[in-house]
């Protein structure tokens, strides 16, 4: 498909280039390393979108950690959250008494992370923090506090660096806004 051979044809503008992303990810890794000194953190990556961010971030976290994955579904194939959230995969490692850091790609309506947060809190972790690469500041439906934010971005649909449109564009090294005709 042309989207894979020629992604730049479909891109309206590049919001964050590779260098900018990686530099910020490094800063986040340093901060997390500092904040979790002497703790045994369990990192939870929210599939699929956070996978690329997660893979880079963990290589900048220089303390001992375990990690696990969760996957939730709310979007179907559209660009708007349905609000109807279900787990496709729950964490396999026991949450009880652990220091949990959830890592997600983007905070948009807040519905997914709020749902995940209540689920995890019901399993009695000793602490729970959230790290997102991107924060769409003006699009919140469900208010939620996050502890680490990579970038605040405007309310536009973005792809790349793990984020998709209908499962396309996840492999781009940059984060971009798509052209309208997609």
Degrees (nearest 5) of the Cα angle 44, 50, 55? 80
* Segment interacting with ligand IMP, rule: CB under 6 A, options 9-17, 20-28, 107-115, 123-131: 107-115
Among 7, 29, 49, 125, binds Mg ion (CB under 5 A): 49
Q: Is 104 in the site for ligand IMP (CB under 6 A)?
A: yes
Distance CA(173)–CA(22), nearest Å, equals 10
Among 36, 102, 112, 172, binds ligand IMP (CB under 6 A): 112
Q: Is 150 in the site for Mg ion (CB under 5 A)?
A: no
Distance CA(157)–CA(7), nearest Å, equals 16
Q: Is 57 in the site for ligand IMP (CB under 6 A)?
A: no
Q: Is 157 in the site for ligand IMP (CB under 6 A)?
A: yes
Is 108 a residue of the active site?
yes
- Which residue shows structure tokens 């983007």? 106
- Nearest residue to Mg ion, by Cβ distance, number only: 49
Q: Which residues are catalytic?
A: 108
């Amino acid at each position: 498909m042309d989207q894979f051979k020629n992604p730049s044809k479909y891109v309206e503008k590049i919001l964050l280039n590779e260098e900018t992303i990686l530099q910020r990810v490094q800063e986040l890794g340093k901060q997390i390393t500092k904040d979790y000194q002497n703790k045994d953190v369990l990192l939870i990556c929210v599939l699929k979108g956070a996978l690329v961010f997660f893979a880079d971030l963990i290589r900048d976290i220089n303390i001992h950690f375990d990690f696990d994955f969760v996957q939730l579904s709310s979007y179907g194939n559209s660009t708007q959250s349905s609000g109807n959230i279900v787990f496709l995969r729950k964490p396999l490692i026991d949450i009880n008494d652990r220091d949990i850091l959830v890592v997600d790609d983007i905070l948009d309506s807040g519905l997914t992370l709020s749902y995940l947060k209540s689920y995890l809190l019901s399993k009695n972790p000793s602490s729970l923090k959230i790290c997102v690469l991107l924060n769409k500041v003006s699009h919140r439906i469900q208010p939620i506090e996050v502890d680490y934010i990579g970038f605040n971005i405007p309310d536009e649909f973005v792809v790349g660096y793990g984020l998709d449109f209908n499962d396309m564009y996840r492999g781009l090294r940059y984060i971009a806004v798509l052209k309208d005709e997609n």
